[in-house]
Chains A and B, each alone.
Chain A
């Protein structure tokens, strides 16, 4: 039987997941994810044509609260764990190219 997922697909999924994989990892994950997805086929034994999807188990939908102003964390606490900061900002590499 053909593998459920090949290395090209694994690399594509890794890109979507923003995960840099080494070649060794890509090969290892291809085999493992294939076996896992193969197992998932088991679900197709069940006819679910008339079954509603269930996203969570609680009998609640919209939960409202008063739109009240409350104290928030504040700049210092929010930035305290930043890997790099610049004054009151999170610092990241340049996002826009030169025009």
Chain B
């Protein structure tokens, strides 16, 4: 009974709650039951809010009993990555420097979840400041993959993906700067969407790489992803880079979700995708066969600059990070050293004590790339390469509706396998990074398993602001396959 409830989609649960058939309080209690059972093993959450969540659930149930209107996520227990500000609990970014930080305001997406009557159950673990591909860079705790607890959940939104796969919430928000939603979604066998840059407000999202960061949903189905997008998408006056709806209107992503895209043209980049492990390539081929059977035409395109995405990304992102993270100065908020002799040491010791290794590495790399004498060779060069990558996408999208490729060259790797070799870790981001550099939306959906029963994701990339079509294309696959229904053996 509990497991039947926990395996429901957001949509089913929401409809059941709104119709009075299911109590949000029951769903919320079931989620906290799952947290009690699985969380000691999985470690997806940095903080949970049981009392607060149950109060909200009861409030929604009371509204429904009184016949009052309720929001699109009425009573649905969801989680938020701990990089988004909340006035309740702490907002840590999984960093010791913010371990006790209480935000004075809510992120816009949090306000939107609350306005939609969602029940926020907790805040999920991540790589510190969203810098990483395995969640091993969390300064606060370890998260493991629900499919194999000796493996990483992916990152940086590893806690969100593990919580959704582990039935410890019905959906979650993640953030994606270079693949941080899609790669953990792929490793944990769930759906993850990075929307177009500018589609979802970044207000209250703690900044990493401001020209690349985007918030998006992590869910167990494409339909739930569409539902979450209905709640979080749209212009926000508090974020000047969220896009005017006159130019790019937000639509009801659920409305036409089940209409297949007619005469679908899918592009693949064979040489580029050939860099993935064999099981990943095989799963991609099988996925393409599904689309072929549905009438899609598969064409090959040349995107010669994708190979340079990692180099360009790790310059642009770290340059932006070095500037964004200058705010952690030990003066206004966050950790302050107790060993400062003078004011410079307030900065340099507070930061040395508060930041983890990967964060320090990225701040230094970015500082170096922006420093006098190196700016042209690294930062300016990377911005030019970025333009070439965007050009590759513009060229491809003239010939097709979407591009398909792997999400990650491998399935979930072992904990500790790559942590001492940052460059190897960076190279694992090869398939996800270009979407951030080009600003286009991209989704990861479950499309198979390797021999060790580890999930594999299919990545679909679409033109800017074409989330509606992207979701419809993803839904075509989901309606004809069962991969998204598989669940880790740890949960029942």
- Residues of chain A having any CB pair with chain B under 8 Å: 5, 9-10, 13-21, 25, 29, 32-33, 35-37, 39-40, 42-46, 48, 51-60, 63, 65, 73, 77-78, 80-84, 90, 92-95
Contact = CB atoms under 8 A, between A and B. Distances in A.
Contact of B336 (A9, A10, A51, A84): A84
Interface stretch (B108-116, B135-143, B376-384): B376-384
B178 interface: no
Given A33-B361, A60-B243, A43 B423 contact: no
Contacts, number: 162
A84 B330 CA distance: 9
Given A73-B104, A83-B330, A92-B331, A48 B336 contact: no
A93 to B, nearest CB: 5
Interface of B: 100-102, 104-105, 197-198, 211, 237, 240-241, 243-244, 247, 305, 307-308, 310-312, 314-315, 322, 326, 329-336, 340-349, 351-352, 355, 357, 360-361, 363-365, 367-368, 371, 378, 380-388, 390, 422-423, 426, 438-439, 464
Given A57-B211, A58-B198, A39 B243 contact: no
B340 A44 contact: no
Contact of A25 (B211, B310, B360): B360
B426 A36 contact: yes
B363 A19 contact: yes
A74 B307 CA distance: 49
A94 B386 contact: no
Given A33-B364, A58-B241, A83-B334, A40 B439 contact: no
Contact of B381 (A48, A59, A80): A48
A81 B72 CA distance: 34
Contacts of A95: 343
A48 B426 CA distance: 24
A82 to B, nearest CB: 6
Nearest to A62: B240
A77 B315 contact: no
A58 B211 CA distance: 9
A83 B423 contact: no
B101 A81 contact: yes
A14 B352 CA distance: 10
Contact of B348 (A20, A48, A63): A20
Given A20-B345, A58-B243, A92-B343, A14 B364 contact: yes
Contact of A57 (B247, B310, B340, B438): B438
Nearest to A84: B336
B212 to A, nearest CB: 9
12 contacts: A10-B364, A17-B351, A21-B360, A32-B361, A43-B311, A43-B382, A54-B384, A56-B241, A58-B439, A81-B102, A83-B330, A95-B343
A29 B364 contact: yes
Given A29-B361, A63-B240, A46 B385 contact: yes
A56 B211 contact: yes
Contact of A46 (B198, B237, B308, B349): B308
Contact of A20 (B101, B349, B382): B349
A40 B368 CA distance: 13
A40 B45 CA distance: 35
A65 B240 CA distance: 9
The B interface, classified by DSSP as helix, strand, loop or mixed, is helix
A54 B390 contact: yes
Contact of B385 (A15, A48, A55, A84): A48
Contact of A93 (B237, B340, B352): B340
B339 to A, nearest CB: 10
Given A60-B241, A60-B243, A17 B387 contact: no
Contact of A58 (B197, B308, B345, B360): B197
B351 A13 contact: no
Contacts of A52: 384, 387
A82 B102 CA distance: 11
Given A29-B361, A39-B423, A94 B344 contact: no
Contacts of A43: 308, 311-312, 381-382, 385
Given A19-B352, A33-B364, A40 B378 contact: yes
Contacts of A63: 240-241
A53 B360 CA distance: 27
Contacts of B312: 43
Nearest to A56: B211
Contact of A56 (B334, B345, B385, B439): B439
B330 to A, nearest CB: 6
A92 B342 CA distance: 9
Contacts of A54: 383-384, 386-387, 390
B342 A16 contact: no
A42 B382 CA distance: 11
A25 to B, nearest CB: 7
B388 A36 contact: no
A94 B346 CA distance: 11
Given A42-B311, A57-B390, A93-B343, A36 B385 contact: no
